[in-house]
Each structure stands twice: as structure tokens, then as C-alpha cells.
Structure 1
Amino acid sequence: MNKSLSTKIFIGLFSGLILGSIIQYLLSGFPVFDQYLVGTASAVGTMFVSLIKLMVVPLVFISIVTGVCELENSSSLGRLGGKISGLYLINTLLAITTALVITYFLQPGAGANLGVAASGSSALTEQGLPDIGTMIVQIIPTNPFAAFASGNMLQIIFMAIVVALAIKSLGQYAKPAQHAFSLANDIMMRLITMVMSLAPYGVFALMINLGATLDMNALSSVAGFVLICVSIMFFWIFVVYPLAVWALTGIKPSVFRAKTRELVLFSLSTASSNASIPVTTRTLVEKLGVSKALAGFGVPLGATVNMSGAAIYIAVAAVFATNAYGVHLDVADLVTIGLTVCLMAVGVGGVPGGAVVMIAVLIQQFGLPAEALAIIAAVDRINDMVCTSSNVVGDAAVITVVAGTEGELNHDHAKDINATTGNTEAATEVS
């Protein structure tokens, strides 16, 4: 029987960790193991990480151009696009703020002592992250090719937005260009999927190297990192979103949770916002009473720009990695990281492993070794599953709220937990 990708990744993770640990504690001193085998595993793992990094610049540029171009599907939905996008942005900012405040006090990764960040390879290790004013001034590139070559994410995001606005301003004349970017975005999503199909082997190699070098303190720090990520995202799914919908539409939290349960389970299994689009749309229309037009417009938009779960994941991962490698972050650094993550989260692909690509950018900017990304990639499947659920339930919550304010919500249908086919079990549970 064919195993799922997640099963293969878990097998690669644990088998690589066990093999690496055996080499460290039982076979140390044998060159064939602790030099050649571990060295080969390190090389293979580095190649896998390089494949992920290869996707970064084109994915961010293309996905943002595509997303901005799709903000206005029709003139009648222009106002709705602004309202939905605004709520998505507020949601993301609140999620990032919460994640950074929690990690500031809990300090995940502190004491892991995984190594030292590369000296001189990052502005962070030499003089701290640039302040907000400098970051804003430098967001406009003087040389676009240099921005792409250096992987300056803020400048690339700025250019993507400008290009998208130029395409939209040309109207129907530029439809071929918009279609070309949409096709390119599909190609990038396919490339990400292809790279992630190699994840079991890449994770296996990375974990051999990590198991051969890490001690128990490091492993417990990784477990703490995962626990913090998952806890914050579950809090957003089951507490923040239901309460927000209740406050703004009158739909009880228990009803909202029951009607989005199928969506949560599906997104957990696929770990893909894009793959969840049909289920999200069905949940909104058939279970929550949102109009088809609004759901059809808002869900694809949310799959592109509403990445609150990814923002939480990236923010916690950034603090964990810097702590684990002895890089000190003060409050000003955290604020700058938060603003950067807010912009970067928009470029996260709605496919499994999309957040890892963005985390790779921060890892590189911090001057941290490839092993830092290896640790995060090794446990990515766990975080990514919950991250996706947070993203798609956020889509459903925001669109439901907008529908309620625009008269596009059937309140009787939304509040009646028995109003949807096949939801008897959910009704029993809540009642």
C-alpha cells in the first residue's frame, strides 16, 4: 500500500534521527560512519535545502503579482475586496503580535546551543536588524536585478506590487499578462510540490546529521518550539475566530466550530490552502449561508493573502532559530521581524511546505547555518498541518463577517446548525 507523503516524512524524520543518534553514541570513532556517512548525509541535506531556497525569489514575486491582480475580479466587488483584504491584514498583524509577545517571554530555543551564527554574513549578527525607518527607505530598489540576485524580500515584494498595479491599470489589454502570471504561479506551485516530494529523503539525510551532533537539550528545545507553534494556532482556530464571528455576526462559537469542523479536518490532512479552496467555499455557502458570489471572490483571495497561521509559524520559527544559535533579539528587532513577516506571509504558497520557503529567507538573513532550516523542516509537517487549518478557518471567519456586514449572509441558515446536509453528528455534539 502506498504511504502518504506525511507518513514518509515522519518515517524519514525518526529513522534518520535514530540512525544519527546510533552513530553519535555507539559508532563514534569509526570514520566510515561519523565521517563518510554523516558527511554524505550532510551534503544531501544541504542540496535539499538549496532546492527550497531556489524557489524563494520567483515564488514570492510571481505569487504576489498574481494575488494583487486578482484583488478586483469585477467592479462590483472592488469595495468588498478592500474590506476583505483589510480584515485579512488585521488578522495577520494580531496573529504576529501575539506570537512574538509569547515567544519573547517563553524564549523557545534558548539554551539549545546548536552553534553560532556565521560572523559577518548578516546585518543581524553584526549590527542588529535595520530599524523600521531604514527598512521603509530601502524598500524601493535602485537596481531590480540586484534585488533579485541578493534575495531582498522587501524590495521584491515592492516590485511585485508595482508590477501588479501596472497590469491592472491597463485593463483588458493586459489580460494576457495577468494570465501569464497566473500560469507561472501554477507552475511555481507545481515546482514546490515536486520539491516537497523529495522531503522524506531530504529530511532523512538532515536528521542523520542532526542526530549525530545534537544532544538531548537541543531535541527538547525543538519539541518546545513545535508545542508553542501548535498551541498558538489552535487558540486562533478554536477561540479567536469563533469569538470574532460571534461578536460581529451573532453566530455562536459552538455553531461556527461545528460548521467548520469538516474544513479543519480536511486542511489538516492536506496541509494545503489551495487544495482546501473547494471545501472552504462549500462550508461558507452551504453551512454558513454566505452568498456564492462573495464566497467565490473571497476564498481564492484568502488562499493567497490571508496567511495568519503561516505568520505565526514564521514568527515563532525565527525567534526559535535565533535563540538556538545564540543571536540576541531585543524588542526593536522583534518589531522589525514582525513587519517583515507580515509582508512575507503574503508570499507563502498555498501548498504543503510553503512556509518553509519563507523561513529559509529569514534563516539566510540571520546568517544561520543550513542546519537551522533543517531542524524546522524536519518538524514542518506537524506545524504546517495546523498552520493551514488556521489559514483556511481564518478565510471562513473573515468572509462570514464581511457577508454579515454586506447583507450577503443568510442569518437563519447560518445560525441553524441543522441547516446543512450531513451535519447531524455536529448538531448532536454541540447541542
Structure 2
Amino acid sequence: MDKSLSSKIFIGLFAGLVLGSAIQYLFSGIAIFDTYLLGTAEGVGGMFVSLIKLLVVPLVYVSIVCGIVDLKDISAFGRLGGKTFTLYILNTIIAIAAALTVGLIFQPGAGANLAGTVSETVKLTTTETPDIFSLVVNIVPSNPVQAFANGDMLQIIFMAILTGLAIQALDSRGGPAIRTFKMANEIMMKLVGLVMSLAPYGVFALMIQLGATLNANTLMSVAGYVALVVAMLVFWIFIFYPMAVGITTGTSPKAFLRATREQILFSLSTASSNATIPVTMRTLTEKLQVSKSVAGFGVPLGATMNMSGVSIYIALATIFVANAFGQPINTADVFTLGLTILLLSIGAGGVPGGGVVMVGVLLHQLGLPPEGLAIIAAVDRINDMFCTSSNVVGDTAVNTIVAKTEGEIGNQEEVEAQPAQANA
């Protein structure tokens, strides 16, 4: 998310909380505040939430079709492409499983009690969750129009993947379809940008409602949620990836961390995987001795589909919202949540403000109140910085492992010695 937009959202967050708290503690019972101001805030907040919900279905469908189409050349890379793709998917699965486990153990959002702040005009109806077998069977829609009308996200994702694969099968004849979907994707990206530009005002309105019923437990729950996300992402960056590389390639965790130091700092400052691509390429080819052929294929692919950091973020964010609004995730929901995150990661990586948008998709899928998205958006910048670092360091780790298995990596003694030479 853009830094200036994040600043505006922070301002909207705190201004809304201050005004809402003032209404609660200073102006309670005064009609102009209780009725008119809160009523206006409810209407504006509801419109903002509806705008986000409006974009969810077409955004997911179009972006995943484009993501699948963009991966059509992976078969041409044979074994290298297969290994890279598989490791990215495996990395995301491990991240999702770990995040869901941590979320269910620590239960972020428990005790926040935000259920009373949900506006009746924009509340989603929670549906009964089917058993896991029925869930898998029902991924295949019998009526695509009904799937889109109901916003059944797993069915929509399935159709998007199927559409992308069908376009690939057309080879050169699929050119017009590819151009059509890519133009539609550009339109959706522009719409997302426009809606996100309204986020400071939407968050301001939603936070007025929250501030009017705010208590200390809510603030502590939000702080605990952010701390849990950051702690897990820091573990992934500084412990999980260095150990994985050390075990599989022989490069010591210390050497790997030193090699990725510039990459980590750059990604923290930009919060953009795409902007970090040149730094990632340099880290791999110059510092870790990975061949340019491996890095040249794996890094752009990773920037699109390696969503390990974001997967951790959105899994914990969804659990936080569920707990905060008194609708905790159950066993069947965990499977739905994990599967949806995995399928979204295939093609939705290029969405601006992707973490927030994907949380919105998951809230919609699980029937959770979309108002929780305002809190997630308000603290997104903090989480997004560490998400990006986790994603790009994950790209580096995966490509280093692939290069080792392909014999496309240089002398590891030089890698171990590089920091000492740099400091000499």
C-alpha cells in the first residue's frame, strides 16, 4: 500500500476513534451526535464496505485467470520450472498451516467484543459451514451464474483456474481472450485503486462507530494482533528461511542472512515485491552465486505467486476479525480458509493493497462482518512491510534451493567468505 495513502488511513483511523470516543464519553444523549452524526457515519461506512464487496467477485475471477495465463510458459522450463513452482506452492502451504495453527493457539481478537458495533445495514449473514467432504465436492459449480450471484469464492476460483487453463490450451488462438482478460484486469486494478483512495474516509466513518462503543479490550486486542503477525513474519524471515537454506544447500544461516540484509532493508522501506525484484536478482546472482538462468525465471514468478508472507498475514487477520466479532473459526472453516488462501495465491499477487483486498475476500467467503476490514486496513502498513520482506526473502530461499538441486550455484565457500571480504 502506498505510504501516503497509509498515512491518510492512519489519520482517518485516529480521527474517527477520537471523535467516536468523544461522542461516547462527552456527548452521549445529544441528538445531533447520537442520531445524525453516527447515522451519517453508518451510511458512509456502509457505502465504503459495499464498494469493497462490489469488487470482490470480478477482481478475484479476472486476476486469477490472468495469473494462470501468465504462467503458461512454465512447461517450457521443464524440470527447473516444475521445481520452482512446486517449492513456491509448498512454501505457501507451510506458511498457511503454520499461521492457522498459531492463530488457533493464540486466538487474536478474543475478548475484543466488536459484535455490537456491526451496522445492521451492512451486516453479512453467517451461513452454516458444510462438512469438509461436501466442501470439496461443491467446489465444482453446477450453475456458474449462481456461483457468481452468491459470491461462492471457492467455486469462482475453480472456474477462474479452469478458464485460464482453457485459454492456455488454445495456444496462439487464445490471443484475443488473453488481451481481453488483461484489459479487464487493468480496469479492475484501476477500480481497486480508486476504491482504496477512498479508504481514509471509509475508515474514518467506520472508526467513528467503533469509537462510540470502544473499550480497552479492543485496543489491546488490535495491538496483540499486530504483534502476533509481526512476530511470526520475523520468525519466517530470520529463522525459517535461513534454516531451510542451510539444511538443503549447505549455506550457513548466518551467511544467508548477511547476503539478504540489503534485500530485507529495501523491502521494509518500499513494501513492494515488484520494486525489490532488482535487489533480489542481485542478492541471488552476486551474493549467493545463483546462476542468472535460475534467478531470471524464479524471481519474477515469485513476485507474482509466492504469497507466503501475505498468507500468514491474511490468515491471522481473518482469525482476528472472526474472534473480535464473536464468530470464531471452527474446524471446517479452517479447511475452507486454508484452501481459499492457497487458491488465491496462484494469481492474486499483483493486486494493489493485496493483503487488505484478500482479507475482504476471505471475510466474504466465511460470512464474517466486513467492518473488520477497517481495522485491518488501518494497521496494514506495519504488517505489509514485514509481509513483503517475508515474500522476497522466500523468493531468495526457494531459488537458492532450486539452484543447488540443479547444480546452478557457485562455490559456497565464496558465499561464506563474502561478508568477511566486504567488511575487510
Q: TM-score, normalised by structure 2?
A: 0.89
Which aligned pairs between 1:24-423 and structure 2 lie closer than 5 A? 24-73=24-73, 76-115=76-115, 121-123=125-127, 127=128, 129-412=129-412, 415-416=415-416, 418=418
What is the root-mean-square deviation of aligned Cα atoms in Å?
Answer: 2.7
- Any idea what the Cα deviations from partners look like across 1:227-258, whole Å, max 9, x if unmatched? 11111111111111111111112222222222
Deviation (angstroms), 1:146: 1.8
1:39 counterpart SS class: helix
44-53 or 213-222, which deviates more: 44-53
354-363 or 177-186, which deviates more: 177-186
2:275 counterpart SS class: coil
Structure 1 pair 57/350, CA: closer, same or farther in 2 (3 Å)?
same
Does the CA contact (< 8 Å) of 1:59 and 1:347 recur in 2?
Answer: no
User: How many Å separate the matches in 2 of 1:188 and 1:289?
Assistant: 39
1:29 counterpart SS class: coil
Deviation (angstroms), 1:163: 1.4
Structure 1 pair 369/328, CA: closer, same or farther in 2 (3 Å)?
closer
Q: Match for 2:69: what amino acid?
A: C
- Any idea what the Cα deviations from partners look like across 1:80-106, whole Å, max 9, x if unmatched? 222112111211111111111112121
292-301 or 160-169, which deviates more: 292-301
Structure 1 pair 113/131, CA: closer, same or farther in 2 (3 Å)?
same
Deviation (angstroms), 1:217: 0.9
Deviation (angstroms), 1:74: 6.2
Q: Match for 2:363: what amino acid?
A: I
User: How many Å separate the matches in 2 of 1:385 and 1:49?
Assistant: 25
How many residues are aligned here?
419
Deviation (angstroms), 1:352: 4.5
User: How many Å separate the matches in 2 of 1:105 and 1:298?
Assistant: 34
278-287 or 410-419, which deviates more: 410-419
Structure 1 pair 28/18, CA: closer, same or farther in 2 (3 Å)?
same
| Percent of pairs with identical residues | 60
Structure 1 pair 167/415, CA: closer, same or farther in 2 (3 Å)?
same
Structure 1 pair 350/261, CA: closer, same or farther in 2 (3 Å)?
farther
2:110 counterpart SS class: coil
Does the CA contact (< 8 Å) of 2:263 and 2:280 recur in 1?
Answer: yes
- Any idea what the Cα deviations from partners look like across 1:148-175, whole Å, max 9, x if unmatched? 2222111111111111111212222323
Q: TM-score, normalised by structure 1?
A: 0.88
2:371 counterpart SS class: helix
Q: Match for 1:122: what amino acid?
A: T
User: How many Å separate the matches in 2 of 1:414 and 1:156?
Assistant: 49
1:122 counterpart SS class: coil
Match of 1:19 in 2: 19
Q: Match for 2:407: what amino acid?
A: G
Does the CA contact (< 8 Å) of 2:74 and 2:82 recur in 1?
Answer: no
Does the CA contact (< 8 Å) of 1:273 and 1:350 recur in 2?
Answer: no
User: How many Å separate the matches in 2 of 1:147 and 1:214?
Assistant: 37
Structure 1 pair 113/308, CA: closer, same or farther in 2 (3 Å)?
same
Deviation (angstroms), 1:197: 2.6
User: How many Å separate the matches in 1 of 2:4 and 2:328?
Assistant: 39
User: How many Å separate the matches in 1 of 2:308 and 2:272?
Assistant: 14
Deviation (angstroms), 1:189: 3.2
Structure 1 pair 190/416, CA: closer, same or farther in 2 (3 Å)?
farther
Deviation (angstroms), 1:360: 1.5
Structure 1 pair 195/329, CA: closer, same or farther in 2 (3 Å)?
closer
User: How many Å separate the matches in 2 of 1:311 and 1:181?
Assistant: 25
User: How many Å separate the matches in 2 of 1:37 and 1:95?
Assistant: 43
User: How many Å separate the matches in 2 of 1:276 and 1:144?
Assistant: 38
1:390 counterpart SS class: helix
Structure 1 pair 278/176, CA: closer, same or farther in 2 (3 Å)?
farther
- Any idea what the Cα deviations from partners look like across 1:361-419, whole Å, max 9, x if unmatched? 23233333332222222222222222222122211211121112112222349715648
5+ residue gaps in structure 1? none
Deviation (angstroms), 1:20: 1.8
2:115 counterpart SS class: coil
231-240 or 247-256, which deviates more: 247-256
Structure 1 pair 325/297, CA: closer, same or farther in 2 (3 Å)?
same
Does the CA contact (< 8 Å) of 1:72 and 1:81 recur in 2?
Answer: no
Structure 1 pair 412/98, CA: closer, same or farther in 2 (3 Å)?
closer
User: How many Å separate the matches in 2 of 1:413 and 1:198?
Assistant: 52
